[in-house]
Amino acid sequence: MRRIAVSFLIALASALQAKDAPRPNIVLIMADDMGFSDIGCYGGEIQTPNLDKLAANGLRYTQFYNTARCCPTRASLMTGLYAHQAGVGAMTIPTTTPGYAGHITRECVTIAEVLKVAGYATFMTGKWHLTANSYKGATGSKKNWPRQRGFDRFFGTIAGAGSFF
């Protein structure tokens, strides 16, 4: 399955890229607990001029459906798969049930891994929350941290919640 996903994503990336066209910069923003119309470009009442400018000069998506929890949504966004296919069917508490590994499995690839193959530099900041952990706050195996899943640089938190004070 991993080979098929990698092949598909590489083919898609190369098909979208004209030979002599300049490569676009890609900024992908995922915000927890934000409604569809919370920002200005989607009709929100709160002024968000910087996000509106990014939206006006880039692509806006209206058909990405999320789950009720942040981890499965992140898994789908990072891999292009249903959350269960990526191994994060619920939260990041590992189980032996297929689809509930609690982390992005090695059978799937992340968007960062595909972009690296295409020659992009990749950076992530914020909350990763895609590595198996426990309620005791452990951050799981480093083999599934952002730097090991395609990101050149990472500045943020591995676990889903934490105190910043």
Residues annotated as part of the active site: 70, 129
* Residue tagged 């191994």 (tokens): 87
Q: Could you give the CA distance from residue 51 to residue 32 in angstroms, rounded to a whole number?
A: 15
* Distances, alpha carbon 57 to alpha carbons 94, 97, 114, 124, in Å: 40, 43, 24, 21
Q: Could you give the CA distance from residue 99 to residue 89 in angstroms, rounded to a whole number?
A: 5
Q: Which of 79, 126, 124 is nearest to 99 (CA)?
A: 79
Q: Which two tokens stand for residue 42?
A: 């989607």
Within 13 Å of residue 102, how many CA atoms lie on the same side as its CB?
Answer: 16
